[in-house]
Structure 1
Amino acid sequence: MNNWALLTIAILLEVAATTSMKLSAGFTRLGPSMLMFALYAMSFACLSKALRTIEVGIAYAIWAGAGTAMIAAIGIVLFDEGLTPQKGLGVALIIGGVVALRLEGGAH
């Protein structure tokens, strides 16, 4: 599998894991808590495989940045966390940074 595809899967798994963490209600709900641990493990496995050819700084920045932007959107849409101008600007800057890093390529 292409390492960029693995990085994408790692991002999606991390977002699902973080969403499960929110749903675990501070680890008081067993199902979402266990799901969170499994999803994080799978995310790190995919991320580690992606690092075979993608520079670690590029891969981690994209993984963290894309995940952060997606979680902010999920918080706004699913958890009614609201969208302030500052939050919108912050997410836009994160997305811009992720796009810039992806355009760089990051393969060695």
Structure 2
Amino acid sequence: RLDNMVYRLGFAASRNEARQLVRNGHFLVNEKHVNIPSYLVKPGDIIKLSEKSQKIEKIKESLEVASRRGIPRWLELHLESFTGKVLSLPTREEITMPIKEQLVVELYSR
């Protein structure tokens, strides 16, 4: 999802903030404006902060924090051009959220 990529790349401090930034039209995917947070990004997609949004201090602060924290290996960030690229989809080992797969299977098998 685009909102998760915006958060993971460090453009936003939280997923809710990322969702709001996407909804307000601050991002382009492959040079096209996208304002749908649930937009599914694919490997090779380039996510760019719009020109007018590159001046927003809150986004700059979030990027500074993210550059110190680091971003996942399956993403690539270019701070100077305010762009990020999806290199691949994350593997199960790269997902940091605690997920109990068995509970998901049980839910959908009803």
Both proteins in one fold, TM over 0.5: no
Q: Which has a greater percent of helix?
A: 1
TM-score range, shorter chain: under 0.3
Structure number with the bigger relative contact order (C-alpha 8 A, sep ≥ 6) is 1
Q: Normalised by the size of structure 2, how large is the TM-score?
A: 0.27
TM-score (normalizing by structure 1): 0.27
